[in-house]
Amino acid sequence: MDRIGKYEVLDRIGSGGFATVFKGYDPFIKRPVAIKVCNTRDQESRQRFFREAEIAGALEHRNITTVFDFGMHEENPYLVEEYLPGEDLAHLIRRHEPNDLGIRLDYLAQIAGGLEYAHQKGVIHRDIKPSNVRVLESGRCKIMDFGTAKLADVESHLTQAGMTLGTVAYLSPERLLGRETRINADIFSYGVLAYELLSFRRPFGGRNIPHLIDQVLNASPISLLDAWPDCPPKLSEIVHRCLHKDPQERYATCTEVLTDLEEVIIEVNGGVRPGLFSEQSSTITLPQPNLQVSGLLERARQLHARGKIDRALVMLEEVLEMAPDNLEAQQLSQACRATAEAAAGESQVDPSLVTSTSKHLLSWEGPEERRARKKGEAVASIESYIEAGQLVAALEAIKFATTLFGPIEDAPGLMRRTLARAREQVSEVKGEALRAARGIVDQMIQLRQKGLLQMELAEALAHRAQQLDSEDLASRDILAMVRAEASPSPAAPPVSAELSQSQKQLEAVASIEQLLLKGDVRMAAQALDFAVGLYGEFEQAPLLRQRIAATSKNPRAEGS
């Protein structure tokens, strides 16, 4: 598809059980978007899709994916959301990232803040797990996929078809038992996510879905303090309270979670109160842009104080994009750069080994500078693909880069280099094929001259050589010779079809035995395969295979 509604389709991002997601472009507002298209006629799945549009479209929060539009395309409903560059939290966890406790606590606070907002709007997500949380380059977390969500005061009749281990591992006991679902069912799932983010292992495991369900319903997870000895005791208490099997013993709201989580963050930050928490409550909020800026500034100050210069610069970059004239952000950015320069001066590392990313951290980039750098990195990546002979990857990278950045000056030259490299590869393959054909023809000529190659086998080999090289004159001569020998003699008496078949089999056996006597085991094996293909399995074939195998192991055995 080139277009869905008014949106241009740029690329396919992926597909799930009942929807395909495309990267698109809004030509009117001029921004990238994500377009989720329902690709099934199943009424229950389509109902779930409509529910996601209805529920997610009514939510507006910094930590929840924003829905822009909804429509129909060729009788298929589609949902238009903000495009989120970055990674799913599940990918980071698999790489055991991030290592910094402060950043992990920040992620947990953001996710709890998004859930708190949804719950206050009467929405239960019902599928909280790391793969449904997107982490942007700036460190902001976004909760995604409200396809299984329901309103707290409306009972859902959607089934749980298509459940997987990756989903069951995060479901609350009451959901697995089919009981009434309240908002703290999301808090149980949040507890599983928190346990996994902090210890890089899930609290419940199982070989299959029944075993996993039994673990969630009946087993107590290993203490987070045992799974991760560096865990602050208060944080372990928070996570295990989220994971309590009895909903009455669990946190009732995410506001309660954030109240306790704030204490841990203040302790980890050495008594500094996190800027994203409002003064009235422990809720993370985004009502005003200035609060968002001040929160990012506070995080940048904390990161700078702890020596996390790269993360601080990322925060400051986002602040300066929202508020380019913010004097405090400019000064803090200069201080970060000075710290980075001082560290680089004290380092014993060869300056030539410093990565382009590290160099980038030494100066703030505007949007145009960053775009130019990204284009340069894309061109360098494409060139490496071409040098490595990965031409399909090179073509895909060229297509993606031109889609993302528009016309690239180097693109025509890169395309010519890719096609030239492809022609070289085709030439190499063709040369190997021609050498193989030449070898087959040479062997046939020698064997036919010695009377050791049966006529029909010679014809089959000649046809194979012709397939490899249709212009080979020698193989044409062999075919002409074979056909001349195949011409019936006028004086030859008529032979029955059954007798003729038997005679041909005997001739094939004699030819193969002659090849074995000459010590040409490889050609004997090929001749036997051709003979069985022509005449079917005959009586002497098993014995010939045994002799070929024995001769291959002991080349002198046949001659003796």
pLDDT tens digits for 377-428? 778 878 877 887 788 777 877 877 777 667 787 888 888 888 888 888 777 7
Known catalytic residue at 472: no
**How far is 71 from 68, CA to CA, in rounded Å?**
11
**How far is 143 from 186, CA to CA, in rounded Å?**
12
pLDDT reported for residue 355:
37
Average the pLDDT over each of 231-245, 248-262, 305-319, 429-443 and give the range with the smallest value. Answer: 429-443
> Are 118 and 253 contained in the same domain?
yes
> Are 57 and 202 contained in the same domain?
no
pLDDT reported for residue 162:
46
Q: Considering the chain, what percentage of its residues have pLDDT values greater than 70?
A: 73
Count how many domains the chain has.
4
Structural domain boundaries, residue 532: 495-560
237-266 burial string, b = 16+ CB within 10 Å, else e? ebbbbbbbeebeebbebbbbbbbebbebbe
**How far is 57 from 70, CA to CA, in rounded Å?**
9
> Are 138 and 69 contained in the same domain?
no
> Are 115 and 241 contained in the same domain?
yes
> Are 268 and 307 contained in the same domain?
no
Res. 350: pLDDT tops 50: no
Whose CA is closest to 106, among 186, 194, 170, 171? Answer: 194
> Are 11 and 116 contained in the same domain?
no
Average the pLDDT over each of 274-288, 358-372, 522-536 and give the range with the smallest value. Answer: 274-288
Q: Is residue 446 in a domain?
A: no
Res. 447: pLDDT tops 80: no
Question: 63 or 156: whose pLDDT is higher?
Answer: 63
Q: Is residue 197 in a domain?
A: yes
> Are 33 and 96 contained in the same domain?
no
Q: Is residue 324 in a domain?
A: yes
Q: Which of 55-69, 141-155, 347-361, 465-479 is most confident?
A: 55-69
Q: Cβ distance 243 to 188 under 8 Å?
A: yes
- Give me the mean pLDDT over the 342-350 stretch: 57
| H or E element that contains 71 | strand 67-73
What is the SS3 assignment for 140? coil
Question: 481 or 346: whose pLDDT is higher?
Answer: 481
> Are 205 and 304 contained in the same domain?
no
Q: Which of 99-113, 152-166, 198-212, 286-300 is most confident?
A: 99-113
**How far is 5 from 499, CA to CA, in rounded Å?**
73
Catalytic residue among 11, 100, 106, 127: 127
